A and B are shown apart, each in its own frame.
Chain A
Amino acid sequence: MADGFIGASVKRREDAKFLTGRGNYTDDINRPGQLHAYIVRSPHPHATIGKIDAAKALAQPGVVAVFTGADMAADGVGGLPCGWQIHSKDGSPMNEPPHPPLATGKVRHVGDPVAVVIAETLSQAKDAAEQVAVTYKELPAVSEPAKAVAAGAPQLFDEAKGNLCYDWHLGDKAAVDAAFAKAAKVAKIDLVNNRLIPNAMEPRAALGEFNRATGEYTLYTTSQNPHVIRLLMGAYVLHLPEAKLRVIAPDVGGGFGSKIYHYAEEAIVTWTSAKVNRPVKWTAERSESFMSDAHGRDHVTHGELALDKDGKFLALRVSTIANMGAYLSTFAPAVPTYLYATLLAGVYTTPLIYCEVKAVFTNTVPVDAYRGAGRPEATYLLERLVDIAAKETGLDRAEIRKRNFIPKTAFPYQTPVALQYDNGDYPGCFESALKAADYSGYAARKATSEKAGKLRGIGISTYIEACGIAPSAVVGSLGARAALYEVGTVRVHPTGSISVLTGAHSHGQGHETTFAQVVADALGVPMESIEVVHGDTGMIPFGLGTYGSRSLAVGGSAILKAVDKIVAKSKKIAAHLLEAAEADIEFKDGKFSVAGTDRAKTLGEIALAAYVPHNYPIDTVEPGLDETAFYDPKNFTFPSGAHICEVEIDPQTGTVSVEKFTAVDDVGRVINPMIVEGQVHGGVVQGIGQALYEGCVYDAAGQLVTGSLMDYCMPRADNLPKFAVTQHTTLCTHNQLGVKGCGEVGAIGSPPAVINAVIDALAPYGVTHLDMPATPERVWRAIHSPRASRAA
């Protein structure tokens, strides 16, 4: 690979517009004649819908229309589809109740959309919405999954008896139980992986526009995957062929998974724009986002780890209840199953694993993938159990991990939970982290904290994850209804500039810069000659979008396949222009030359010839220089790493402060170190947020208590230190770039490092576990009444 692009911290092209206020986010877009939509949402967690009387609302100034679920149903609008089907232990398919864009018959969570008011201005729509009279008959509600599956619980759906979506498992239970029976020691834990609200800084928005002349719809939406929205909304909801539906995801202000899903509001603005014959625009208010964006995590788990007398892990058994919320969001069923249980080997040689998961409907907002999606849940369980195992066996927490790492020579490594890891160096990475964190110098730092009246603790997390999703046939066999390849087009224009079209989407990741680096390196051309295009289904053939840390691993590989096709075609053209045999043409640094001579043509000269084929092998080679490739990955990719966290706790107030955080991650080849570090910083802070600050709370009656940023604590600059982030690299063996993906590792490795540090700090008080978030109140209570808050 050429010097200067791969591995270079090239400054981002995206920054110029964002720094000067020239971003083009969905709410910045205004279409001529547009109307504004305001959604009427249920204030009740569970109720039947009687009459919806819109007469007063329709009489308000500026109001153009009011639509309900009945209106959409009468027009044949379908329900929001689920993209992954899980089967239960008995082989039966999951319960899959309908999910209409506007609730019909019943509302099932606070915030469930019931009607849409469309008016000339947003204020008019909002004012009129208060006049829409919905007759609700309240029903008992249930917000906790364990209560929802219990006998006598309020039933959300006729289609889901006992509020059960599925009861799934993975692994050989008999073999695992037999191993437990012979174990020298067993470490056990009951823990909660707390429900989170993604809160990307840009609230969701959607703008639908119908063109009466062409019969085409255009939807602008804050999406991580516009082609997926076109497919799902077109095929399942509005019954429109792709050729009549263009979806544009312009600048998007963060996603973290929450902007993957096909949401009701997208269908609502698209459908209504044709009904009212004017563009319809909707933007969420933040507290509206709280009750309409998919939430994350929300598992309750019992885990047990069987150990031999030397602290070797013999077997793991896990039982989890996962909250699906009131409806199935697009990927929800996959998150606590194939994105979770398959990671329970972690970086360890545990030979036997059994995991069972009950997924349950409750009167809460739908839950779906959020940064890490299943892998933070697996890692948190494992790393807490390992610390408890260390205590059970009397081994040092670093030592017990070292005894169980998969060695560097063991690859490819087949885990007992379906996944086969390609490559990694867990012991080496761990040593790197211990050194970088000055683990051996910890005692002195602890003494300093104690002299100042503070408790200090250090926590380790060694993790692996599976991303770069995914081989289509594999996920298809596991219940995915979609495929997960990616698409790239490399279009060399007649005058030599290059458009790179990608189905991946950048909403903070910097693809416009990094993808240009990759192509500049591969083609030996200046970065300035390359334009990366994403986000518009009207310009890009197809794509599956950005999530699951797949953009470079899958999207980048597709682009490189297209580059290979460009180079192959260019060689044929060069051979003709240079009057040489194709086999004698070499390609290096942007030039096609005859081997052993200095006779060469640049890519630019080839391009001009391709589009003006006067002197050209026209009988065997078509004009043009424009290639598309679809790349289906051979395997997941497996980033891994070690995070080490030190916290100080003020015993008077229970306040936990992160004093030091070291992350050493193996993300495969690093294309732009600055961007990789930025991704890790952001992920680590979301993980620290989960561990110490964030938690979505519903009361027992189903009311959303944490309804705005007043009550949901986001990590802020004044609660955080700087981070020490480095990499310990082993290359992915199955993609051309050798990349593994770095978008989610920060959020996966960090929560257990923080909580393990907190528990370490609280050891003098006999505290063995605290659930996240370890708020000052929880920590203070643990210190002051240790018996009350120990363990579960």
Chain B
Amino acid sequence: MPSVALTVNGRKVSAEVEPRTLLVQLLREKLGLTGTHVGCDTSQCGACVVHVDGTSIKSCTILAVQCEGADVLTIEGLANGDKLHPMQEAFREHHGLQCGFCTPGMVMSAVDLLKNNPKPSEREIREWLEGNICRCTGYHNIVKAIQAASGQPVS
């Protein structure tokens, strides 16, 4: 079995994986980082979004072995100890989650949006989230949370 070595949430890790093992499986099953979720099998839903080398990626659509040497950030690595990341805080403040299942992917996706586009319009936020499905919130409060996190007025 091949092995892969990478950095996850600032820690160097390595594991033996099958060639077909997805990054999300490595995270959830080998590293015990169950905050990243699997919601579909066609790369639609976005519950699995993490950052790989600074960019949001669907971890169900990348093989673990493709991440050799990569720097991976998951939802577990976003907060600074007890201090929530401003995006996490904004989701809490604006009730941007209900069941919580889409939330890790949604938050990681939103963090990358603001890295690329610090003051997105509502339209830009909604188009960015096309790859993140939520069944609970209707997206209304998710959009508000992201507007707030970007320091813009919440419409």
Q: In the assembly, what is the distance between CA of A715 and CA of B134, in Å?
A: 8
With beta carbons under 8 angstroms apart, the residue of A509, A674, A677, A717 that contacts B143 is A717
Give the Cβ gap from B98 to chain A, nearest Cβ, in Å. 4
- Against A, the Cβ 8 Å flags (1 = close, 0 = not) of B131-152 are 0111111111111100000000
Q: Which residues of A contact B136 (CB under 8 A)?
A: 201, 254, 508, 678, 682
Given A20-B35, A254-B101, list of 7 further CB < 8 A pairs?
A23-B35, A202-B99, A682-B138, A709-B45, A710-B42, A717-B130, A722-B122
A21-B36, A201-B47 as given contacts; A254 in contact with B99, CB under 8 Å: yes
Question: Which B positions have Cβ atoms within 8 angstroms of A?
Answer: 18, 20, 28, 33-42, 44-45, 47, 74-76, 78-79, 84, 88, 91-93, 95, 97-104, 107, 122, 125-127, 129-130, 132-144, 155
With beta carbons under 8 angstroms apart, the residue of A123, A685, A709, A720 that contacts B20 is A123
Q: Which residues of A contact B127 (CB under 8 A)?
A: 717-718
Interface: A714 (CB within 8 A): yes
With beta carbons under 8 angstroms apart, the residue of A23, A256, A686 that contacts B100 is A23
Q: In the assembly, what is the distance between CA of A675 and CA of B129, in Å?
A: 22
* In contact, B75 and A286 (Cβ under 8 angstroms): no
* In contact, B38 and A203 (Cβ under 8 angstroms): yes
What would be 22 A-B contacts, judged by CB atoms less than 8 Å apart? A15-B91, A18-B103, A22-B35, A23-B34, A23-B35, A23-B100, A199-B135, A201-B102, A201-B133, A201-B134, A202-B99, A202-B101, A203-B38, A286-B45, A508-B99, A509-B98, A681-B137, A682-B98, A684-B138, A708-B40, A710-B42, A722-B144
Give the Cβ gap from B119 to chain A, nearest Cβ, in Å. 18
Interface: A723 (CB within 8 A): yes
With beta carbons under 8 angstroms apart, the residue of B39, B95, B107, B155 that contacts A722 is B155
A510-B98, A717-B125, A717-B132 as given contacts; A19 in contact with B103, CB under 8 Å: yes
Interface: A252 (CB within 8 A): yes
Q: Which residues of A contact B88 (CB under 8 A)?
A: 19-20
Interface: A285 (CB within 8 A): yes
Q: In the assembly, what is the distance between CA of A507 and CA of B99, in Å?
A: 5
* In contact, B39 and A201 (Cβ under 8 angstroms): yes
Interface: A390 (CB within 8 A): no
Closest A residue by C-beta to B47: A201
Q: Which residues of A contact B79 (CB under 8 A)?
A: 20
* In contact, A718 and B129 (Cβ under 8 angstroms): yes
Interface: A28 (CB within 8 A): yes
Q: Which residues of A contact B44 (CB under 8 A)?
A: 709-710, 714
* In contact, A25 and B95 (Cβ under 8 angstroms): no
Interface: A14 (CB within 8 A): yes
Q: In the assembly, what is the distance between CA of A20 and CA of B141, in Å?
A: 18
- Against B, the Cβ 8 Å flags (1 = close, 0 = not) of A281-316 are 000011100000000000000000000000000000
Q: Which residues of B contact A678 (CB under 8 A)?
A: 95, 98, 136-138, 140-141
Interface: A239 (CB within 8 A): no
Q: In the assembly, what is the distance between CA of A609 and CA of B73, in Å?
A: 51
Q: In the assembly, what is the distance between CA of A651 and CA of B141, in Å?
A: 31
Q: Which residues of B contact A717 (CB under 8 A)?
A: 125-127, 129-130, 132, 134, 139, 142-143
Interface: A716 (CB within 8 A): yes
Interface: A425 (CB within 8 A): no
Q: Which residues of A contact B76 (CB under 8 A)?
A: 20-22
* In contact, A253 and B101 (Cβ under 8 angstroms): yes
Question: Which A residues, 404 to 447, have Cβ-Cβ distances below 8 Å to chain B?
Answer: none
Q: Which residues of B contact A201 (CB under 8 A)?
A: 37, 39, 45, 47, 99, 101-102, 133-136
Closest A residue by C-beta to B90: A19
Q: Which residues of B contact A198 (CB under 8 A)?
A: 135
Q: Which residues of B contact A723 (CB under 8 A)?
A: 138, 140
Of B36, B42, B76, most buried by chain A (CB within 10 Å of CB) is B42
Closest A residue by C-beta to B77: A21
Give the Cβ gap from A46 to chain B, nearest Cβ, in Å. 26
Q: In the assembly, what is the distance between CA of A198 and CA of B135, in Å?
A: 9
Q: Which residues of B contact A720 (CB under 8 A)?
A: 126, 138-140
Question: Which A residues, 560 to 595, have Cβ-Cβ distances below 8 Å to chain B?
Answer: none
Give the Cβ gap from A339 to chain B, nearest Cβ, in Å. 21
Closest A residue by C-beta to B102: A201
Give the Cβ gap from B99 to chain A, nearest Cβ, in Å. 3
Q: Which residues of B contact A123 (CB under 8 A)?
A: 18, 20
Q: In the assembly, what is the distance between CA of A684 and CA of B135, in Å?
A: 11
Q: Which residues of B contact A256 (CB under 8 A)?
A: 135
Interface: A744 (CB within 8 A): no
Q: Which residues of B contact A19 (CB under 8 A)?
A: 75, 84, 88, 91-92, 97, 100, 103, 107
Q: Which residues of A contact B138 (CB under 8 A)?
A: 678, 681-685, 715, 720, 723, 746
Q: Which residues of B contact A716 (CB under 8 A)?
A: 129-130, 133, 139
Give the Cβ gap from B130 to chain A, nearest Cβ, in Å. 5
Interface: A781 (CB within 8 A): no
Interface: A99 (CB within 8 A): no
Q: Which residues of B contact A722 (CB under 8 A)?
A: 122, 140, 143-144, 155
Question: Which A residues, 687 to 714, have Cβ-Cβ distances below 8 Å to chain B?
Answer: 708-710, 714
Q: In the assembly, what is the distance between CA of A681 and CA of B155, in Å?
A: 15
* In contact, A254 and B135 (Cβ under 8 angstroms): yes
A681-B137, A681-B140 as given contacts; A287 in contact with B42, CB under 8 Å: yes
Q: Which residues of A contact B144 (CB under 8 A)?
A: 722
Interface: A454 (CB within 8 A): no
Interface: A190 (CB within 8 A): no
Q: What 5 pairs across the A-B complex have the smallest Cβ distances?
A: A21-B35, A253-B101, A18-B100, A508-B99, A681-B138
Of A202, A674, A710, most buried by chain B (CB within 10 Å of CB) is A202
Q: Which residues of B contact A20 (CB under 8 A)?
A: 35, 75-76, 78-79, 84, 88
Give the Cβ gap from A437 to chain B, nearest Cβ, in Å. 16
Question: Which A residues, 449 to 496, have Cβ-Cβ distances below 8 Å to chain B?
Answer: none
Q: In the assembly, what is the distance between CA of A18 and CA of B20, in Å?
A: 29
- Against B, the Cβ 8 Å flags (1 = close, 0 = not) of A715-738 are 111101011000000000000000
Of B40, B74, B130, B155, most buried by chain A (CB within 10 Å of CB) is B40
A15-B91, A681-B137, A717-B130 as given contacts; A200 in contact with B45, CB under 8 Å: no
* In contact, A718 and B130 (Cβ under 8 angstroms): yes
* In contact, B41 and A286 (Cβ under 8 angstroms): yes
- Against B, the Cβ 8 Å flags (1 = close, 0 = not) of A549-565 are 00000000000000000
Interface: A626 (CB within 8 A): no
* In contact, B141 and A681 (Cβ under 8 angstroms): yes
Q: In the assembly, what is the distance between CA of A708 and CA of B125, in Å?
A: 26
Give the Cβ gap from B114 to chain A, nearest Cβ, in Å. 15
Of B92, B100, B122, most buried by chain A (CB within 10 Å of CB) is B100
Interface: A251 (CB within 8 A): yes
